[in-house]
Homo-oligomer: A and B are copies of this chain.
Amino acid sequence: MKSYYLTKAEENLPKLIKTIIAPKIDAVVLDNRDTFTIDLGNHYVGYFFFKMWFLSTYIDAPVRMNVRFFETERELNDDYDDYKGELCKSWLQEEIINVDFPGKYKMPRRYATRFIKITVLNTPQKVVLSDFGFESQTSADLRSLKPCQTCDNELAKIDKIAVNTLKNCMQRVFEDGPKRDRRLWIGDLRLEALANYYTFENISLVKRCLYLFAAAERNEYGILPGYVYENPIYCSGNWFLIDYSLMFVCTLCDLYSHTGDAKIFHDLYPIAKSILDVLDETKDDEGLVTTRSGDVFIDWCKGLIKNTALEGIYLYTLDRWCEVLESIGNEDDATLYRARLEQGRAASRKYLYDENNGAFINKRDKYQNSVHTATWMILGGVVKGEEAKRILKEVISSPDSVKPFTPYMHHYTVDALIKAGLMQEAEKYIRNIWGGMVKMGADTFFEVYVPSDPEFSPYGDRKVNSMCHAWSCTATYFIRKYGFGTVPHNTTSD
């Protein structure tokens, strides 16, 4: 029997919307070793099909072809034989197919792709390929997409690509990446849900995903796994992440703030509460959260020291939580958690702030000046006003500070800039990061983007990077929520 949570998740299973993409491409005649590349004109997620036919005589044998799917043009000539990544090579989107009969051939697996490269391996004779098409699939309904108000061309383009990224990640769940890992991660979910409120507003899908995490097996402390699988069977992940568990609480709070849906908030309240309580129980003597209860993600940065950022995330989550508790009139709990928030802010100020250098440190670790630490301390409300502005501007512009590697982390840095009142800097940051990807020809935003190292991969090989990644879609959230490119902002540091 299904659990209550899984039953609720199933009630909210979206209908997938299928659209046929038919690129205007002439028929091609191919012989052994010939290669042909199809450009769909945009990034889509779905199923590739084509027609195989013969010239004068019927095809005498099956036709064996290699078919590769690429999300971006720069990947087109990648050599798969020298793949050296840590992730399983099977993530590279490649098939060897044998087509037995002339006629329409639809490949059975789903791909995330714009470019499709066909190489004929074995054919008894020249064959004709034509009628190329792609059945794209998403649970994002374009008819419900809200208009974007920006008058700025670059921002409008960024918004469009961000919406495309979100659309292609919206499937049976908010996937992290439709090429890889094709599953539901909390960190991605939170950002997708935020972008979704300002674009497709598919509330049901957010609820489905929260219920799916509610059904997960937590670790002995009560920390959630970072991800779950739900197709064809439900299965929890086994990597337990403290910061992602806090993001589950934030996602629930966001949903309540956006919809006022008391039912799901009530359903998931005990889980959210227990996560916050675990953090409280595992504090150290100075009243700062520890990593005793699980792992911490923060960002794909090598050598990043994370405890201060985690403290910031905890405080940020408490803040969101108290806000909702107060709005629903749960005064007792609000008071309890508000007290913890203030205690945590004070402890952070006391133990994590280096007054002499005017920057945050990482407790019990060597000093490391990172954008991550500053971002989360500001979002956690440890510093405010001019002090926050100064710290953030300095750490971002410093040549020595550790910078974010993923648009996931870039999102929170933009959020911190906005919270610090640095609206122009936030807009500039968006143009720099998301605009930088646009300049690289993006149809969707990438899993990792390091302006100084476009070949960077957290997995040891760029070929396995996901080039349409959920956590990179929030440029649309900022542009739409804060009206970038529509009216001049008064709150600026200049």
A266 at the interface (CB under 8 A from B): no
Given contacts A58-B237, A237-B58, contact A232 B103 (CB under 8 A): yes
Contacts of A1 in B (CB 8 A): none
Contacts of A237 in B (CB 8 A): 57-58
Contacts of A351 in B (CB 8 A): none
Contacts of A98 in B (CB 8 A): 90, 95, 109
Which residues of chain A from 144 to 179 have any CB-CB distance to chain B below 8 Å in the complex? none
CB of A88 within 8 A of CB of B123, answer yes
CB of A90 within 8 A of CB of B232, answer no
Closest-CB distance, A95 to chain B (whole angstroms):
7
Closest-CB distance, A67 to chain B (whole angstroms):
11
> Which of A60, A90, A233 is packed against the most chain B CB atoms within 10 Å?
A90
When chains A and B are docked, how far (Å) is the Cα of A490 from the Cα of B62? 51
Interface 0/1 of A226-254, CB less than 8 Å to B? 00010111010110000000000000000
Which residues of chain A from 230 to 282 have any CB-CB distance to chain B below 8 Å in the complex? 231-233, 235, 237-238
CB of A90 within 8 A of CB of B103, answer no
Contacts of A124 in B (CB 8 A): 87-88, 90
CB of B95 within 8 A of CB of A232, answer no
Closest-CB distance, A70 to chain B (whole angstroms):
16
Closest-CB distance, A364 to chain B (whole angstroms):
32
CB of B232 within 8 A of CB of A58, answer no
- CB nearest to A180 among chain B residues: B61
Which residues of chain A from 215 to 234 have any CB-CB distance to chain B below 8 Å in the complex? 229, 231-233
Given contacts A98-B109, A108-B108, contact A58 B122 (CB under 8 A): no
- CB nearest to A103 among chain B residues: B232
A101 at the interface (CB under 8 A from B): yes
CB of B122 within 8 A of CB of A88, answer yes
- CB nearest to A100 among chain B residues: B109
Contacts of A90 in B (CB 8 A): 61-64, 98, 121-124
Contacts of A238 in B (CB 8 A): 57
Which residues of chain A from 45 to 95 have any CB-CB distance to chain B below 8 Å in the complex? 57-58, 60-64, 87-91, 95
CB of A91 within 8 A of CB of B103, answer no
When chains A and B are docked, how far (Å) is the Cα of A235 from the Cα of B233? 45
A483 at the interface (CB under 8 A from B): no
CB of A103 within 8 A of CB of B63, answer no
Contacts of A108 in B (CB 8 A): 108
Contacts of A231 in B (CB 8 A): 101
Interface 0/1 of A110-141, CB less than 8 Å to B? 10000000000111100000000000000000
Closest-CB distance, A273 to chain B (whole angstroms):
28
Contacts of A96 in B (CB 8 A): 95-96
- CB nearest to A182 among chain B residues: B100
When chains A and B are docked, how far (Å) is the Cα of A235 from the Cα of B58? 7
A485 at the interface (CB under 8 A from B): no
CB of B91 within 8 A of CB of A61, answer yes
When chains A and B are docked, how far (Å) is the Cα of A64 from the Cα of B88? 10
Contacts of A101 in B (CB 8 A): 231-232
Closest-CB distance, A138 to chain B (whole angstroms):
18
Closest-CB distance, A461 to chain B (whole angstroms):
13
Contacts of A436 in B (CB 8 A): none
Choose one: B57, B88, B232; the contact of A102 (CB below 8 Å): B232
- CB nearest to A234 among chain B residues: B58
When chains A and B are docked, how far (Å) is the Cα of A87 from the Cα of B61? 8
- CB nearest to A235 among chain B residues: B58
> Given A61-B88, A87-B124, A98-B109, 14 more contacts at CB 8 Å?
A57-B235, A57-B237, A58-B229, A60-B181, A61-B87, A61-B90, A61-B181, A63-B90, A89-B121, A90-B124, A95-B96, A100-B109, A101-B231, A103-B233
Q: List 15 A-B contacts (CB under 8 A).
A: A57-B235, A57-B238, A58-B235, A61-B90, A62-B90, A63-B90, A64-B90, A88-B122, A88-B123, A88-B124, A90-B122, A90-B124, A95-B96, A95-B98, A103-B233
**A positions within 8 Å CB-CB of B:** 57-58, 60-64, 87-91, 95-96, 98, 100-103, 108-110, 121-124, 180-181, 229, 231-233, 235, 237-238
